[in-house]
Amino acid sequence: MKPLNRILVLTAITGALILCSVLGSGCLKESSLTIKGINVGAQQVSSPEVTLNVSTEIENSRGFGSGITTLNLRAFNTETGLIENERTDIIDGIGWGGSHTVFQTMSLPRKGSYRLVATVFEGDKRKAQGEKTVYNLERLTPDNQKSGLSVEDIDFIVRNVSGDSVTIQSDLYISNNDIRPSGPFDIEVKAKEMDAHLVAAKQTVPVANIDPEKILVVPVRLTVPDQYNYVMEVLVWKNETIIKRVEGTVQLRPGTTIPGGDQFVTKKIETSKFVADQSSVSGAARPYSPIPSQAPGFGVSVALVAMVTVGAYIVGQRRQK
């Protein structure tokens, strides 16, 4: 045998003996898998449930492994400890020193908190485990309720007073902060008596559209009993779902506390004095264009009457003492 061939044969035999020795000792045969991290995101949110996107990063620090590698994902309800959902997926083998990220989806009720437990199996042997808890899924906004619509401001205007009734117009400044047109939606306004929360009147007004980065003034009129205080609740409806809710107050019979004796005094508002000029208030939705205006507040004569009334009341109280 030639010297070169002899060297090649000896090298091959030596390599084979070393490899057999190492594999026989078991130091490289069995893999060492660990879960380096678990990330969770909301892929889809509806009113009844949430579909989570769970990504699990698995690393193999040594060894080649044997058998089929699977990843089991379970969701435990944190209140009851019961399994809410479970799935198992076959994953690609991970070589020595390599890593692999596994993506799984899981649907859960949109309520409460859940402990997500990820377990890696190699054949029938458990190799690694990690967990992550997601909290208060009910706080996630359903996809069909996400919108750039927002109620920026509300003006209340008296349009008419007849007997014991007053017609109040709520001018709603609705903005669309989305990059797309809003499409059709509805505005509902309710007048609830402040103490009893009884609904005195309500009205729904359809809106065809608001362009991106625009503001539309939407007027809504309600006729309510005079001399009561009201919470004006504004609801924005889209796709048969309430997507926004804001409140304002109209006090047609406000009260105040006078210092010293802590007496609560109810004031009567002469509502007819606040009826707006019909020519200056439009009854149709219109784009908002800011214009200079006088500072809000009562007239000088009304302020003087209020001061005299309160002063007379305080003097009367002192004389009674």
What integer pLDDT is reported at residue 173 of this predicted model? 96
Q: Mean per-residue pLDDT for 143-153?
A: 86
Q: Work out the number of other CB atoms within 10 angstroms of the CB of residue 217.
A: 17
Give yes or no for residue 315 having a pLDDT over 50: no
| Per-residue tokens: 99 | 């890593």
Give yes or no for residue 80 having a pLDDT over 80: yes
- Tens-digit pLDDT profile for residues 158-188: 999 998 999 999 999 999 998 889 999 999 9
Alpha carbons 109 and 65: distance in angstroms, whole number: 37
Contact 28, 63 (CB under 8 A): yes
Banded model confidence at residue 9, pLDDT cuts 50, 70, 90: low
User: Domains in the chain, please, with CATH?
Assistant: 33-139 (2.60.40.10), 147-290 (2.60.40.10)
- Tens-digit pLDDT profile for residues 246-272: 999 999 888 755 566 565 556 666 666
- Tens-digit pLDDT profile for residues 203-222: 999 999 999 999 999 999 99
DSSP symbols for 3-56: HHHHHHHHHHHHHHHHHHHHHHHTTTTS--EEEEEEEEEEEEE-SSEEEEEEEE
Give yes or no for residue 320 having a pLDDT over 60: no
Contact 226, 205 (CB under 8 A): no
What integer pLDDT is reported at residue 147 of this predicted model? 83
What integer pLDDT is reported at residue 301 of this predicted model? 36
How far the first Cα of the chain sits from its last, in Å, is 132
Give yes or no for residue 241 having a pLDDT over 80: yes
pTM of this structure:
0.53
| 8 compared with 157, residue with greater pLDDT | 157
Give yes or no for residue 192 having a pLDDT over 70: yes
What integer pLDDT is reported at residue 240 of this predicted model? 83
